[in-house]
Amino acid sequence: MRAGNHAQGVAYHATRLGIASTIVMPKGTPFNKVKRTEDFGTTVITHGTGFDESMAFTLEMAERDGMTLIHPVDDPAVVAGPGTVALEMLEEQPDLDVIVIPVGGAGLISGVAAAIKALSPEIEVIGAQAHLFDAVKSAFYGSLIDFAGATLAEGIAVKALSEANLVMIRKHLDRIESVSEADIEEVVLDLLSHE
């Protein structure tokens, strides 16, 4: 269950190994993410209005049909994988001062932050989260969660994170910042204008 890189990675490797796979994505997932995932030979089911509803459906389906669930953010092996991102970043740029990482369910940032702090504890690790879905920031700082509508950053629109990931980010993260929809739109337009 997931709509981005995790979904495509699972689909790619399942097909490569000759294993049937099904990926569940929330309704409203951008067509290009659905299509790219299907192109790897998986079945994509869209269900639910967001991560939490999709995950509940996925858990029920996995139990009912005897499927193995590869959780996108609440699995130690999946969280360890992004540590390789940190290794690649340090290999390319050994004198990094700060790393900013998008935060959804905190799987990516948990793995990257743990690896970075193990290798170069002086590097500041900052999480970036959509203001409208700031569950991780709220949990990190112990503040109230206040969800308000949809976000352009639908891939990180998660309402809750696992306790294991919360422990990891509290141990390794320096801070989390949230950004407005206007800021997200501006960055997306800027990126599109460079392609």
> Is 34 domain-assigned?
yes
pTM for this predicted structure: 0.74
Taking 80 as the threshold, does the pLDDT of residue 85 lie above it?
A: yes
Paired with 102 in beta bridges are: 128
Rounded to 5 degrees, φ, ψ at 40 are -85, 5
Place of tokens 């910042």: 177
pLDDT tens-digit readout, 58-71: 999 999 999 999 88
Domain presence at residue 70? no
99 shares a domain with 53? no
Does a structural domain hold residue 71? no
Percent of the chain, pLDDT > 90? 40
Alpha-carbon distances, residue 145 vs 128, 130, 142, 158, 194 (angstroms):
16, 12, 9, 11, 35
pLDDT band at 3 (very low <50, low <70, confident <90, very high): low
Statement to judge: residues 83 and 61 lie in one domain: no
pLDDT of residue 73: 76
The backbone torsions φ and ψ at residue 8, rounded to the nearest 5 degrees and listed phi first, read -70, -35
Structure confidence at residue 74 as a pLDDT band (50, 70, 90): confident
44 and 132 in a common domain = no
Question: Do residue 116 and residue 172 come from a single domain?
Answer: yes
**CATH number for the domain including 29?**
3.40.50.1100
Confirm whether 101 is domain-assigned.
yes
Q: Model confidence over 4-22: pLDDT tens digits?
A: 778 898 999 999 999 999 9
Looking at the fold, whether 94 and 166 belong to one and the same domain comes out as: yes
Domain boundary among 40, 65, 90: 65
SS3 78: helix
Are the C-beta atoms of 71 and 65 separated by less than 8 Å? no
Exposed e or buried b per residue across 27-63, where buried means at least 16 C-beta atoms within 10 angstroms of its C-beta: eebeeebbebbeebebebbebbebbeebbebbeebbe
Domain count, the chain: 2
| Residue 29 belongs to some domain of the structure | yes
Look at residue 72 and tell me if it is in a domain.
no
